[in-house]
Chain A
Amino acid sequence: MLRLPPFEFRMPATLDEAARMVADGGPSTRLVAGGTDLWPNMNRRHQKAETVISLMRIPGLAGIGNGNGSGELRIGGTTTLDAIESHPLVRERYPALARAVESISSPPLRNMGTLGGNVCVDTRCTYYNQTEEWRRSIDYCLKEEGTICWVAPNSPKCWAHSASDSAPILAALDARVRLVSTAGERLIPIESLYRNDGIDYLTKRPDEILTDVLLPDASDAASCRAAFWKLRRRGSIDFGVLSVAAAVWTDGGGKVAKARIWLGSVGSQPLFAGKASELLVGGRLDAEALLESGRLARKVATPMDNTDFLTQWRGVMVERYVEAALREIAGLPQERLAPNHP
């Protein structure tokens, strides 16, 4: 079997200690929470570390509750995906988030995997997520040790795709994340956590620890309806090849006050379908508008031949899945067959 290389494993007991360790650790230090991303990557040697710092022993970093008396919902960075999908507050106020989380991987991995880990999950590519020997066979790639992005050989940038299912729905719901380091903390909208670059896909500095995800009161189910649709080969385990997260706020008269449509897995970061969202504002969610919104959303997506399914077909699916998600929000009858949808 594949073997983990030797490394030092550290388990700080407080956030301060963890922040100091990572600040002192240098470039060969990595953070780990559930390990469902890092350990397989280290087994295959495309992520390397001399020191791995676990966040799982830090009290208070996991948990779900109302943030400092406001209506905000706080989810701690090391809260397991399983705990989130089954939490009554999440299910009641942010059902689309629960749906996104329960679509991630398989139950055993959700028992270990955390929200912070999923938000920061490494970008994926079929030229990259391979063993050391396999990657030698292609002389590596731009993302790791090589010089060429084999997905787009003339491209100066890496096209590995974002693989987080929680990120698009959190972005659609206007979530914020807290990043803590020895230099202090900052609270940023989750959408500014990402960059559209397969290698340097996070704006988080290596010495920063993602401690919380905060969901605004205004995004809860009372004023906002949201939906999450995910396309993949097998509903039991696979990473998404497309995820659609949509949130729509309506005014008293049933007109759309605000809409946010985000796409996952079709770019190196979650992508905001701006025009597709704006189109809906001021109108009602009638079938034609939803169809048009899907068409506009497709223009944002950049599916590449670096994951499952035919690339062109995935482009068509952006249209269909955006429309389907919006129909769910509008309460229109569903015509789509989504075999792997929960």
Chain B
Amino acid sequence: MAEPVRSPGDAPAERPERDTRIVGKPFRRVDGRAKVTGVTRFADDLSFPRMCHMRLVRSTVPHARIVSIDTSEAARVPGVLGFLTGASMPNTFGILPVSEDEHALCPDKVRMVGDPVAAVAAVTEDAAYEAALKVRVDYEPLATIASVEEALATPEPRIHGYSKAGGNVHKRASLEFGDVEGAFTEADLVLEDLCYYEGNTHLAMEQHAAVAIPEDVDRVTVYSSTQTPHYVHRALSKVLDLPASRIRVIACPNGGGFGGKSDPFNHEIVAAKMALQLGRPVKIVLSREEVFYCHRGRHPVQMWIKTGFKKDGTITGQHFKSALDGGAYGSYGVASTYYTGALQTVTYKLPHYKFEGVRTYTNKPPCGPKRGHGTPQPRFAWEVHLDKAAHRLGIDPAELRLRNLEDPETVTANWLTVGSIGLGRCIEAVVEGSGWRERYGRLGEGRGLGLACGAYLCGAGLPIYWNHMPQSGVQLQLDRSGRVAVFCGETEIGQGSDSVLAAIVAEILGVELHDIRLCVGDTDLTPVDLGSYSSRVTLMMGNAAVEAAERARDLLASAVSAQLEVPADRLVFAERRVFDAEDPGRGLDFADACVAAEARFGTLGTVGSYTPPRSPGRYNGAGVGPSPTYSYSACVLEVEVDPATGLYRPIHVWIAHDIGRSINPVLVLGQIEGSVYMGLGEAMMEEQVFRRLPKRLSGALVHKAPSMLEYKSPTFLEMPPVTSYIIEDPDARGPFGAKEVGQGPLLPVPPALANAVFDAVGVRIDQVPVQPHMILKALEAKRQGAEPRYGPASFPAVDFGETIRVPTPAQGGDGHATKEFERRLHRSKRATSGTMAEREEALEGKKDLTTK
């Protein structure tokens, strides 16, 4: 499918350090053979003696009080062992300390179809299934809320009662960096656009599964398909009222996550509770439909964007608004809201910037982080908007972007510190590869090219809960056999983190990949790593691994130096040997080096850890957006459009990604192509949408198509050929110069499609997915002399609250909001009460939000 091509002239960057033997070379992933031969044990493959099966009884109504739960008929199903209801687990949980608004089982109220109200365990899966169908729940319906507009217009009944914004608004934010109105005044062209990005879900191949195994009466082990065993560990401790030290969470290899397994989930907690209650292992495997209800996928976001440009294309400033339909729970929603505004500044110079965002609750499955977390939506609006600006200004869209490129190693208007930026080279690679200069605007009716860019974090700068500890830890243990055991809490979700970990340690110690024994994602055995989310693993775990491995190397070097009487700094670790650089014949096998070190120092072990640098932003909301560095991508997409039907087909995708440096270029290509695939799915067809029945007849509010067949996602047949370019511009902040690739390459794909459709048939589709009927409608409008466009007509009327004004670095700011405002804010904060503390308070160090 893809041609793994390096961009012309893209020779590996000069590095002063020695050549690598593993890092940067294509190698077979360490878990590859087990996966293709079926040896890998995913959570659903696990089986234990006396294991029983559990199923959750889920709400069939969208918003209601629970009147009664009757299990009597279900209890008569042969093989049923026990039930649980919400009363047994009153403690709430949730991924963010500011929105711990979930119950393992709803105790009094359901907030969406699919909310779990009871659990049944039985000796067989069949019996659990039949029994679950026989549990009767009586509900007293409440008014339902299906959209942002309804949530804004319907303060009561509240889906949750805790948010400070009131009514059914979960979060709102208003931040201004610099002087946006002034920026518009000095602009020659001010453009405004309205865009919409439909919600969609992760659709990981593996459905969530968990097995809980009790030990004694107060210890439990939970195996789960989770991206974040550490956060699951904390949630289990809180809800089960057990010290974390008596709970062990083991993250199984995930059959894909994409953000959909980043929250602690009710089924994991209920399985643990049930196991403790029954005294036997309990397994639960969710159905595909239940996975649609777990969701935590892409928020549907309405957007309004206004930008000022000089005649030469220079951007003077931008005002951006977003309205997120959050669904029934908080999940990562506060972070998602800020993410719709955070990364606009890291691709192009944006001296003045204002962001306003709101997230509302609705009676639908909760949205959260999906590949790109909160940033594909604004990126779509920004890149489509830029394409329009290029046409208005008469500047080539690629040229407009190149003229505005952000400078590397700077601090942006919203106080993000950017590192290396390979975006210019990315743009050049796809422009050259696609023949953009010769072909853009010249392909004739029905064929078009579109260009777009993107950027993403290499790990969130701050942990989910406020603490000063490292975000990743790696422990090495070596013995006299030359075996190197590596312990790390990281979670292999298919992205290749096991391979990255093994490669980094093997590279530094000069051994082979299969000399490394990995132990990962086990809260009893491994140091904490926060999890496989926010594209953090390669950079953070990688840096921790570098530190641990270098310490081990130093230990061995010191012992070998003493034995061979060679200065330690002259020793080379390569090819399973430790030898004198000036006399390579003089050295020890790696195992003998370990013997020497163990004899000298005793049992050999080292640790390494990584804590991201502190970001300079000090205003409320500055916690979302910072990252040690950012990755960049550019994409050109060619499309063929039939103007008589609106049907279209992507013909080819050229995509370049600034990886810093590849640890394994094969895995990098896999992530690039996977991101293109997922981006195309969102751009072309994926929709997590809901259906209401006529209100006079029914209060139903249901997921339209919670199935693999009817939730449309592309297959091989829809996937166009992809040409990928790996752009290497090593960033000193990453291990061996590496940055992320798991999420970034998705970002430019949806806007590139919309821009290509414009080049093909001259109409703007300002929303995704781009559906054929939209193209047809826009073409009709064009024929009738109306605006040749399909997209939202308005942005909801939102009160974003008081604007936090923050002077930019160029204005001489220090990262804080203006003083007067801060003082006022602090006064009002002291007056507020309630159990749900704000993240901002934690960020200011005023409150410790860590759970027990």
List A residues at the B interface (Cβ < 8 Å).
Answer: 1-3, 5, 126, 129-134, 136-139, 148, 150, 153, 233-238, 308-310, 312-313, 316-317, 320, 335-340
Cβ of B644 and Cβ of A137 under 8 Å apart?
no
Give 18 CB contacts A-B under 8 Å. Answer: A1-B125, A3-B130, A126-B704, A126-B710, A134-B113, A138-B693, A138-B698, A233-B712, A238-B709, A238-B712, A308-B712, A313-B773, A316-B645, A335-B642, A336-B642, A336-B645, A337-B640, A340-B717
Measured between alpha carbons, how far is A238 from B710 in the docked complex, in Å?
A: 8
Measured between alpha carbons, how far is A153 from B691 in the docked complex, in Å?
A: 14
Cβ of A235 and Cβ of B717 under 8 Å apart?
yes
Cβ of A1 and Cβ of B644 under 8 Å apart?
no
Residues on B with beta carbons closer than 8 Å to the beta carbon of A148: 697
Those of B413-452 within 8 Å (CB) of chain A:
446
Nearest CB of chain B from residue A54's CB, rounded to whole Å: 21
Cβ of B715 and Cβ of A132 under 8 Å apart?
no
Partner among B133, B644, B706, B714 whose Cβ is within 8 Å of the Cβ of A234? B714
Selecting from B585-593, B646-654, B820-828, the interface stretch reads B646-654
Cβ of B702 and Cβ of A337 under 8 Å apart?
no
Nearest CB of chain B from residue A50's CB, rounded to whole Å: 15
Cβ of A313 and Cβ of B693 under 8 Å apart?
no
Residues on B with beta carbons closer than 8 Å to the beta carbon of A132: 133
Cβ of A320 and Cβ of B644 under 8 Å apart?
yes
Residues on B with beta carbons closer than 8 Å to the beta carbon of A335: 642, 644
Cβ of A153 and Cβ of B697 under 8 Å apart?
yes
Which 8 A-B pairs rank lowest in CB-CB distance, beginning with the nearest? Answer: A337-B642, A313-B773, A236-B715, A236-B717, A137-B60, A339-B649, A136-B60, A310-B773
Those of B694-729 within 8 Å (CB) of chain A:
694, 697-698, 700, 702-707, 709-710, 712, 714-718
Measured between alpha carbons, how far is A339 from B649 in the docked complex, in Å?
A: 6
Residues on B with beta carbons closer than 8 Å to the beta carbon of A312: 773
Residues on B with beta carbons closer than 8 Å to the beta carbon of A131: 287, 289, 706
* Complex interface bits, B620-647 against A, C-beta within 8 A gives 1, otherwise 0: 0000000000000000000011101111
Q: A3-B129, A233-B712, A313-B776 are in contact. Are A133 and B58 (CB under 8 A)?
A: yes
Closest to A310 in B: B773
Measured between alpha carbons, how far is A245 from B645 in the docked complex, in Å?
A: 19
Cβ of A337 and Cβ of B649 under 8 Å apart?
yes
Measured between alpha carbons, how far is A2 from B646 in the docked complex, in Å?
A: 37
Residues on B with beta carbons closer than 8 Å to the beta carbon of A1: 125, 207, 285, 287
Give the size category of B's interface with A.
35 or more
Nearest CB of chain A from residue B300's CB, rounded to whole Å: 18
Most chain B CB within 10 A, of A133, A136, A236, A339, is at A133
Residues on A with beta carbons closer than 8 Å to the beta carbon of B649: 337, 339
Measured between alpha carbons, how far is A234 from B647 in the docked complex, in Å?
A: 12
Partner among A2, A138, A310 whose Cβ is within 8 Å of the Cβ of B700? A138
Cβ of B773 and Cβ of A129 under 8 Å apart?
no
Residues on A with beta carbons closer than 8 Å to the beta carbon of B716: 236
| Interface presence of B126 (CB below 8 A) | yes
Partner among B446, B700, B715 whose Cβ is within 8 Å of the Cβ of A137? B700
Measured between alpha carbons, how far is A308 from B576 in the docked complex, in Å?
A: 59
Residues on A with beta carbons closer than 8 Å to the beta carbon of B703: 134
Cβ of A234 and Cβ of B700 under 8 Å apart?
no
Measured between alpha carbons, how far is A136 from B137 in the docked complex, in Å?
A: 12
Measured between alpha carbons, how far is A234 from B694 in the docked complex, in Å?
A: 30
| Interface presence of B754 (CB below 8 A) | no
Closest to B285 in A: A1
Measured between alpha carbons, how far is A309 from B771 in the docked complex, in Å?
A: 8
Measured between alpha carbons, how far is A222 from B648 in the docked complex, in Å?
A: 35
Measured between alpha carbons, how far is A235 from B772 in the docked complex, in Å?
A: 15
Residues on B with beta carbons closer than 8 Å to the beta carbon of A238: 709, 712
Cβ of A126 and Cβ of B125 under 8 Å apart?
no
Q: A2-B287, A134-B289, A138-B693 are in contact. Are A237 and B715 (CB under 8 A)?
A: yes
Most chain B CB within 10 A, of A2, A126, A148, A233, is at A233
Residues on B with beta carbons closer than 8 Å to the beta carbon of A136: 60
| Interface presence of B594 (CB below 8 A) | no
Cβ of A336 and Cβ of B710 under 8 Å apart?
no
Partner among B446, B646, B697, B709 whose Cβ is within 8 Å of the Cβ of A313? B646
Measured between alpha carbons, how far is A10 from B710 in the docked complex, in Å?
A: 32
Cβ of B773 and Cβ of A309 under 8 Å apart?
yes
Measured between alpha carbons, how far is A302 from B289 in the docked complex, in Å?
A: 30
Measured between alpha carbons, how far is A139 from B126 in the docked complex, in Å?
A: 24
Residues on A with beta carbons closer than 8 Å to the beta carbon of B685: 233
Measured between alpha carbons, how far is A1 from B776 in the docked complex, in Å?
A: 40
| Interface presence of B61 (CB below 8 A) | yes
Measured between alpha carbons, how far is A2 from B700 in the docked complex, in Å?
A: 23
Partner among B207, B647, B702, B715 whose Cβ is within 8 Å of the Cβ of A338? B647
Measured between alpha carbons, how far is A224 from B685 in the docked complex, in Å?
A: 38
Measured between alpha carbons, how far is A339 from B651 in the docked complex, in Å?
A: 11
Measured between alpha carbons, how far is A320 from B773 in the docked complex, in Å?
A: 13
Nearest CB of chain B from residue A45's CB, rounded to whole Å: 8
Q: A3-B126, A153-B694, A236-B715 are in contact. Are A339 and B647 (CB under 8 A)?
A: yes
Cβ of B717 and Cβ of A3 under 8 Å apart?
no
Residues on A with beta carbons closer than 8 Å to the beta carbon of B113: 134, 137
Residues on B with beta carbons closer than 8 Å to the beta carbon of A336: 642, 644-645, 647
Residues on B with beta carbons closer than 8 Å to the beta carbon of A313: 646, 772-773, 776
Residues on B with beta carbons closer than 8 Å to the beta carbon of A150: 693
Closest to A323 in B: B644
Closest to B62 in A: A137
- Known contacts A1-B207, A134-B113; 14 further A-B pairs (Cβ under 8 A): A3-B126, A136-B60, A137-B700, A139-B698, A148-B697, A153-B697, A235-B718, A236-B716, A237-B715, A238-B712, A308-B712, A338-B647, A339-B647, A339-B718
Cβ of A310 and Cβ of B645 under 8 Å apart?
no
Measured between alpha carbons, how far is A338 from B717 in the docked complex, in Å?
A: 13
Cβ of B645 and Cβ of A337 under 8 Å apart?
yes
Cβ of A134 and Cβ of B702 under 8 Å apart?
yes
Residues on A with beta carbons closer than 8 Å to the beta carbon of B710: 126, 129, 308
Residues on A with beta carbons closer than 8 Å to the beta carbon of B287: 1-2, 131
Cβ of A317 and Cβ of B709 under 8 Å apart?
no
Cβ of B771 and Cβ of A310 under 8 Å apart?
yes
Measured between alpha carbons, how far is A130 from B703 in the docked complex, in Å?
A: 10
Measured between alpha carbons, how far is A340 from B648 in the docked complex, in Å?
A: 10
